[in-house]
Amino acid sequence: MKCPFCNHMESKVVDSRPTEEGNVIRRRRECFSCSKRFTTYEKIEDIPLMVVKKGGHREQFDRSKIINGILRACEKRPISINQIESIVDDIEREVYQSSDREVSSVAIGEKVMIHLKKVDEVAYVRFASVYRQFRDLNTFIDELNKLLKENNPV
């Protein structure tokens, strides 16, 4: 590590400890040349997760877009912000645990629908109507019929 005082290239680590969050390690170093001490921080390099949109363009993963979509679907429904954040946390965890650095917006939308279906069927249908771009009333009714069959198997 290069000394910020004399630009000498060699130093020794005098003290090393994790920060409160545990994501970064703080190191106190001493320069071999001038003996001055300085602090460095070491952290894991985050490779951004990219979302491949339906049109083929890519943009960086944005958690707030998922929250906004779910909030719109859950408007005036008995779903707490804690439940919404929990859904988004689960989806974000699933996406980041994948070995791929790219994920399709379609896959994210499907994950949202799976979680919403478990929490609130009205919110699920609202989200699905926008996400799947229901063109007419028949498409909407087909989705409702699927839900009814799942809930009341014959």
Boundaries of every domain in the chain: 11-43, 50-151
Cβ 147 vs Cβ 101: under 8 Å: no
pTM here?
0.66
Q: What is the CA radius of gyration of the chain?
A: 24
- Condensed to tens digits (0 to 9), the pLDDT of residues 78-98 reads 999 999 999 999 999 999 888
The residue behind tokens 């988004």 is 88
Q: Where are the alpha helices (DSSP H) in 17-104?
A: 63-73, 81-97
Rounded to the nearest 10 degrees, what angle do helices 121-131 and 105-119 cross at? 160
State the DSSP code for 152: S
Q: Each residue of 103-139: pLDDT tens digit?
A: 999 999 999 999 999 999 999 888 988 877 777 777 7
29 strand-pairing partners: 13, 38
